[in-house]
């Protein structure tokens, strides 16, 4: 619920500015309607000025040509959908058409009769003048450019457009061809230099290759130069021979040591097999390769029989004939191998005892000697090959440098040749192609001044200026201009409009229009006010009548309204609560008689003291309680309990009680009384009161909880009633003080004040509505 209320308040707050804006617009529209003479006069003056301009203005004629710009795209893939590039091209060409160099060439092509716009102007201003009258516009999202020129002569306009287009096309063509020729000449010259240098390097490479005997090979192959490859191979072979020699020397030293110690040399036979050769070792020991073959065959047969036995054992028992045969064959083969090896061992042992050691030593010494001789030969060959390879490597480095230089020059020459070919193909082709799709022709109908455009401008400017004048007048004239404005600005209705009353001769009630002239037109406004109060829908037994400033005629309204109510059969009491400048008392010549001030200070209850001080008037049913003797504290008296009791007594004795109070902006008395009455009526003089003053007066009543029933527009002239509230002065000020030396009509004609009252713009303290305590007297209500 809280959120709902908050949202509703927020919506209302958001809606208020729009309502105020609509209200302000409606108000201003009403002001413009009432002061339409100002707007009409402004439109008429603007029309006269426009007509004068139309009659005196120089006629301008225009001629237009249309150009189609097509951009030559060399790389179609790169320019597909390149919309920005197209826009840039169109903008560039549009700017070029109106450039000074194009216009200068165009002026040279014009005939003397076509220079009508340049007559009387210095030569250095011709281009600027031509540019001011020339326009080039690009049609949106197209490749069309409209070239338009305005001139005093139709033929001159067409001739200038034609000359400008020809100058533009000539400039584009010449500029492009000159650039292409310069570029081509520069490229050809550079190409000739590059070609001569390339030929020189190629000849140098060929001569050097023949000199070093270079064998050309593909650069993709990983082959090494033969000379260098031979040196590398000799180095590898030399290393192998040296390794073999060292191994043989080590084996020979080991066998010598074994023979000296008398050890068995069979353990060195394996090493000797690798050093002196297998066959040579066997021959030296009296063995043959057939012996070794027999042993190997028997071992293979044993392995085969063992595999077969293992496979059959899974399916047959140990006593199966086949199992037994296999076991017998395996045992026989193993016995044969053992016996054969034993025989070979006996032969070897016998030989070792006789001559195996010297034979082996002699074989190793021969191998070492052969290996040393081979090493010496290999070393000499390698040293020669190394020197030759080193010398050849330097030549190869220089050869490779020449090859890279030739390759680089060839690549540059190919690139340059490609550029030359491209420039040559584009030499006669412009970057853009401009085609005139609409030729400029003379147009005999002037384009300036245009009657339709001139009428629109005059009408719009007249309305704008007139509206601005009305707005300024409204700002300077801070008055209410109509009853509607009063209602909209104040938020309260206009109860009646009273015209400016002509003073009547005599004194007392003879000067009151509703009493003296009850059937006159002027008095009808007060009967209207009486009816409006009766139909207001609220209780109106107690009424307060005040104004925003002195001199607004509140006393006149009070006395005439009270007479009108008495004439309607209502017993009415008028209480003159203006204890500072009592206008009602002065009007009825009741000065010096006891009254309100005496009732409030007598010490008796108002029901006891007031009846004796009430004055009956010539009007039946109308009584008056004058102001009484002056007191120094009027605001305190009006805010006292005695005044509350006085109103309660008056309410019980009369049908209507009217309290005539001082102006609300002058003093706070009216606000104090406003808390005790049913409603307040504010008297306003539209031709005198300022908006701000009247608005502040209504807000002053509303701030203390007083119900403002409405306002009475007073002292209206015949003109203001007919045309609204118009034609009134500016500036105001007022003084308000004690005294009883007023003129006959009270505050309508004020004497010099005895006491200075603050200006309405200054802050005033407002007496808050007094809370009722249980001891306060209850306001009695008169029985119906």
pLDDT value, residue 746: 38
- pLDDT for 705-728, tens place per residue? 999 999 999 988 765 544 444 433
pLDDT value, residue 291: 64
- pLDDT for 507-558, tens place per residue? 889 899 999 999 888 889 999 999 999 988 778 899 999 999 999 999 999 9
- As a whole number of angstroms, the distance between CA 174 and CA 166 comes to 12
Q: Which residues pair with 656 in a beta bridge?
A: 572
Pair 746, 555: CB distance under 8 Å: yes
H/E run at residue 148: strand 144-151
Decide which of 216 and 689 is more confident.
689
pLDDT value, residue 188: 77
Decide which of 503 and 298 is more confident.
503
pLDDT value, residue 180: 59
- pLDDT for 264-279, tens place per residue? 666 565 555 555 555 4
Decide which of 488 and 456 is more confident.
456
Query: Could you please report the per-residue DSSP string of 574-614?
Result: EEE--SSS-HHHHHTT-TTS--HHHHHHSSS-HHHHHHHH-
pLDDT value, residue 256: 77
Pair 447, 157: CB distance under 8 Å: no
Mean pLDDT value of segment 764-782: 36
Position 734 pLDDT exceeds 60 = no
Q: Which of 685, 713, 670 is nearest to 551 (CA)?
A: 685
Pair of tokens at residue 534: 């009766």
- As a whole number of angstroms, the distance between CA 483 and CA 471 comes to 19
Position 580 pLDDT exceeds 80 = yes
pLDDT value, residue 621: 94
Label residue 412 by pLDDT band (50, 70, 90): confident
- As a whole number of angstroms, the distance between CA 157 and CA 148 comes to 8
Decide which of 125 and 72 is more confident.
125
Position 349 pLDDT exceeds 70 = no
Mean pLDDT value of segment 601-607: 91
Pair 637, 643: CB distance under 8 Å: yes
- pLDDT for 617-653, tens place per residue? 999 999 999 999 888 889 899 999 999 999 999 999 9
**Angle of the 289-312 helix axis to the 278-285 helix axis, nearest 10:** 100
Position 603 pLDDT exceeds 60 = yes
pLDDT value, residue 514: 93
* Ramachandran angles phi, psi of 683, nearest 5°: -90, 130
> What is the residue-averaged pLDDT of the chain?
78
In order of start, what are the domains of the chain with their CATH numbers?
14-57+450-475 (no CATH), 481-723 (3.40.50.300)
How many CB atoms are located within 10 Å of the residue 237 CB? 15
Overall pTM surpassing 0.85 (yes/no): no
* Ramachandran angles phi, psi of 71, nearest 5°: -85, 130
pLDDT value, residue 558: 94
Q: Which residues pair with 657 in a beta bridge?
A: 542, 573
- As a whole number of angstroms, the distance between CA 414 and CA 423 comes to 14
> At 479, is the secondary structure helix, strand, or coil?
coil
Pair of tokens at residue 289: 């390769």
- As a whole number of angstroms, the distance between CA 177 and CA 430 comes to 8
Beta strand spans in 361-474 (E):
432-438
Label residue 775 by pLDDT band (50, 70, 90): very low
DSSP letter for 112, please: G
- As a whole number of angstroms, the distance between CA 517 and CA 508 comes to 14
Residue 255: partners with Cβ closer than 8 Å, 6 or more residues away? 265, 268, 357, 360, 361, 364
């Amino acid at each position: 619920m809280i959120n709902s209320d908050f949202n509703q308040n927020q919506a209302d707050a958001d809606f208020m500015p729009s309502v105020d804006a609509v209200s302000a617009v409606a108000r201003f529209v009403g002001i413009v309607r009432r002061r339409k003479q100002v707007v009409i006069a402004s439109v008429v003056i603007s029309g006269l000025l426009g007509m004068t301009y139309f009659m005196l203005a120089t006629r301008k004629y225009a001629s237009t040509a249309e150009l189609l710009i097509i951009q030559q795209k060399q790389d179609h893939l790169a320019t597909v959908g390149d919309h920005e590039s197209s826009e840039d091209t169109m903008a560039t060409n549009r700017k070029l058409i109106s450039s000074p160099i194009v216009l200068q060439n165009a002026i040279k092509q014009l005939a003397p009769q076509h220079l009508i716009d340049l007559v009387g102007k210095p030569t250095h201003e011709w281009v600027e003048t031509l540019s001011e009258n020339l326009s080039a516009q690009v049609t949106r999202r197209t490749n069309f450019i409209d070239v338009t020129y305005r001139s005093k002569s139709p033929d001159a306009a067409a001739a200038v457009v034609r000359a400008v287009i020809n100058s533009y096309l000539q400039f584009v063509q010449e500029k492009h061809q000159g650039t292409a020729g310069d570029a081509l000449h520069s490229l050809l010259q550079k190409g000739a230099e590059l070609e001569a240098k390339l030929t020189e390097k190629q000849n140098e490479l060929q001569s050097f290759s023949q000199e070093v005997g270079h064998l050309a090979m593909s650069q993709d192959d990983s082959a090494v130069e033969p000379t260098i490859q031979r040196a590398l191979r000799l180095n590898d072979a030399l290393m192998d021979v040296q390794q073999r020699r060292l191994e043989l020397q080590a084996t020979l030293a080991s066998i010598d040591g074994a023979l000296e110690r008398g050890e068995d040399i069979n353990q060195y036979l394996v090493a000797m097999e690798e050093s002196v050769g297998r066959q040579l070792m066997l021959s030296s020991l009296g063995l043959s390769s057939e012996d070794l073959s027999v042993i190997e065959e028997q071992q293979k047969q044993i392995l085969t029989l063992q595999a077969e036995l293992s496979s059959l054992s899974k399916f047959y028992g140990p006593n199966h004939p086949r199992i037994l045969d296999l076991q017998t064959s395996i045992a026989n083969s193993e016995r044969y191998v053992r016996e054969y090896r034993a025989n070979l061992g006996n032969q070897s042992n016998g030989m070792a005892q006789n001559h195996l050691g010297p034979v082996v030593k002699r074989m190793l010494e021969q191998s070492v000697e052969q290996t040393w001789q081979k090493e010496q030969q290999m070393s000499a060959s390698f040293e020669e090959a190394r020197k030759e390879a080193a010398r050849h490597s330097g030549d190869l480095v220089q050869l490779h440098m020449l090859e890279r230089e030739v390759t680089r020059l060839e690549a540059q020459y190919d690139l340059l040749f490609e550029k030359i070919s491209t420039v040559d193909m584009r030499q006669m082709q412009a970057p853009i192609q401009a085609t005139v799709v609409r030729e400029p022709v003379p147009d005999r109908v002037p384009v300036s001044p245009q009657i339709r455009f001139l009428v629109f401008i005059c009408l719009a400017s007249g309305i704008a200026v007139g509206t601005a004048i009305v707005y300024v007048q409204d700002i300077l004239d801070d008055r209410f201009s109509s009853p509607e404005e009063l209602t909209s600005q104040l938020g309260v209705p206009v109860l009646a409009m009273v015209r400016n009353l002509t003073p009547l001769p005599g004194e007392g009630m003879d000067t009151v229009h509703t009493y003296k002239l009850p059937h006159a037109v002027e008095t009808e406004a007060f009967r209207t006010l009486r009816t409006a109060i009766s139909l207001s829908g609220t209780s109106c037994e107690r009424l307060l009548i005040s104004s925003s400033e002195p001199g607004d005629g509140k006393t006149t309204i009070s006395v005439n309204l009270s007479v009108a109510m008495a004439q309607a059969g209502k017993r009415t009491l008028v209480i003159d609560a203006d204890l500072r400048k009592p206008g009602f008392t002065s009007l009825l010549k009741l000065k010096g008689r006891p009254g309100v001030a005496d009732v409030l200070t007598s010490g008796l209850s108002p029901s006891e003291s007031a009846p004796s001080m009430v004055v009956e008037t010539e009007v039946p049913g109308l009584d008056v309680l004058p102001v009484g003797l002056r007191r120094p504290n009027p605001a305190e008296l009006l805010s006292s309990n005695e005044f509350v009791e006085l109103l309660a007594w008056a309410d019980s004795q009369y049908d209507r009680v009217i309290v005539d109070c001082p102006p609300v902006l002058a003093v706070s008395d009216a606000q104090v009384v406003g808390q005790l009455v049913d409603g307040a009526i504010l008297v306003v003089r539209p031709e005198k009161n300022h908006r701000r003053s009247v608005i502040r007066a209504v807000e002053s009543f509303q701030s203390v909880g007083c119900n403002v029933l409405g306002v009475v527009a007073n002292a209206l002239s015949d003109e203001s009633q007919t045309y609204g509230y118009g034609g009134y002065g500016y500036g105001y000020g007022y003084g308000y003080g004690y005294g009883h030396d007023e003129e006959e009509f009270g505050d309508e004609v004020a004497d010099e004040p005895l006491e200075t009252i603050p200006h309405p713009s200054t802050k005033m303290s407002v007496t808050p509505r007094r809370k009722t305590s249980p001891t306060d007297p209850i306001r009695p209500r008169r029985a119906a």
